[in-house]
């Protein structure tokens, strides 16, 4: 639902983004392997098939056979009148369960970050990055992507789309009014 308000003699309208691109289409650190009977989730080109694995431990073993040791999070989904994902299990035994794994090979991490060793602290950093990818996917999955339009009187001054969370769109729109600079996207 659109929400309009006045800000420094401008009208800002926040609107849901009706067709945002999945963040899994971007350049991500992790590979998100997900299996669901009725919905497509995760990366589309990971090459793994659910019928080749007896359970999630088998999948992880297969991933490590293909890529060597990995840093990973299990991914869980709750689906009831909408869907949400997390790296922590949900409490509902009927409408939630495992969805997949997001991982990055340790070899790739060492090469990309120029690290000779992956310490516990560095592994926690990478787990944080993977968590961020799942959080962003969850925001997209829940439809919490926004755009804004800034008007002064009847004239549209600025607009931009693709903000993850309504607060981010609001902050950007108000920042544009404060600086009087047009957005990089229109």
Tens-place pLDDT, residues 96-154: 788 999 999 999 999 999 999 999 999 999 999 999 999 999 999 999 999 999 999 99
Q: Is residue 186 in a domain?
A: no
Co-location of 155 and 130 in the same domain: no
Helices 120-141/106-113 angle, 10° precision: 100
Please tell me the predicted confidence (pLDDT) of residue 92. Answer: 79
Q: Is residue 125 in a domain?
A: yes
The domain containing residue 85 runs over which residues? 23-141
Q: Is residue 115 in a domain?
A: yes
**pLDDT averaged over every residue in the chain:** 91
Q: Is residue 41 in a domain?
A: yes
pTM above 0.75, yes or no: yes
Co-location of 92 and 157 in the same domain: no
Co-location of 59 and 130 in the same domain: yes
């Amino acid at each position: 639902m659109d929400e309009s308000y006045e800000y420094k003699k401008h009208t800002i309208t926040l609107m849901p983004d009706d067709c945002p691109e999945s963040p899994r289409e971007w350049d991500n650190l992790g590979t998100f392997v997900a299996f669901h009977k009725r919905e497509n989730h995760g990366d589309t080109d990971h090459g793994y098939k659910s019928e080749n694995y007896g359970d999630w431990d088998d999948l992880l073993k297969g991933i490590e056979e293909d890529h060597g040791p990995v840093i990973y999070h299990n991914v869980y989904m709750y689906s009831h009148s909408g869907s949400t994902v997390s790296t922590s299990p949900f409490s509902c035994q009927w409408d939630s369960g495992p969805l997949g794994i997001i991982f990055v090979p340790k070899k790739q991490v060492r090469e990309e970050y120029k690290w000779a060793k992956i310490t516990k602290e560095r592994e926690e950093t990478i787990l944080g990055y993977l968590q961020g990818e799942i959080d962003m996917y969850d925001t997209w999955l829940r439809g919490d992507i926004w755009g804004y339009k800034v008007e002064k009187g009847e004239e549209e001054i600025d607009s931009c789309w693709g903000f993850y969370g309504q607060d981010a769109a609001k902050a950007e729109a108000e920042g544009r009014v404060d600086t009087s600079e047009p957005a990089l996207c229109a």
